[in-house]
Amino acid sequence: MTSLAQHHSNNLVKLLLIGDAKSGKTGSLVSLIKAGYKLRILDMDNLLDILKYLALRECPDNLDNVEFLTLRDKRKATSEGSVIDGPCRAFPDAVKMLDRWKYKDENGEQVDLGTPAEWGPDCILVIDSFSRLCDAAYDWRFSLNPKNDGRAIYGDAQDAVESLLAGLTSKSFATNLIVIAHVQYMDQPDGTKKGFPQGVGQKLSPKIPQYFPSVVLYTNKNGKRTMRTTSTMLVDLANPAPFLMEPEYPAETGLAQFFGVLRDNPTTTEEPPTPKPITKLNSTITRR
What single DSSP character describes residue 37?
Answer: P
Q: State yes or no: pLDDT of 164 exceeds 50.
A: yes
In a domain, 286, yes or no: no
Single out the residue of 135, 20, 149, 24 nearest to residue 73, CA to CA: 135
- Cα–Cα distance for residue pair 189/57, rounded to 1 Å: 48
Q: Is 86 exposed, middle or buried (0-12, 13-18, 19+ CB in 10 A)?
A: exposed
Single out the residue of 246, 260, 249 nearest to residue 218, CA to CA: 249
In a domain, 135, yes or no: yes
Domain tally, the chain: 1
In a domain, 269, yes or no: no
pLDDT in tens, 116-140: 999 999 999 999 999 999 999 999 9
In a domain, 279, yes or no: no
The one-letter amino acid at 6: Q
Share of the chain above pLDDT 70, in %: 89
pLDDT in tens, 48-101: 999 999 999 999 999 999 999 999 988 888 877 777 878 889 999 999 999 999
In a domain, 282, yes or no: no
Phi, psi of 270 (to 5 degrees): -140, 115
| pLDDT of res. 1 | 64
In a domain, 275, yes or no: no
Phi, psi of 193 (to 5 degrees): -115, 150
Strands 81-84 and 75-78: antiparallel
Dihedral angle sign, alpha carbons of residues 5, 7, 9, 10: positive
CB atoms within 10 A of CB 112: 11
In a domain, 271, yes or no: no
For residue 168, the Cα-to-chain-centroid distance in whole angstroms is: 11
CATH number of domain containing 61: 3.40.50
pLDDT in tens, 99-109: 999 998 888 88
In a domain, 34, yes or no: yes
Q: What's the domain range around 78? A: 4-262
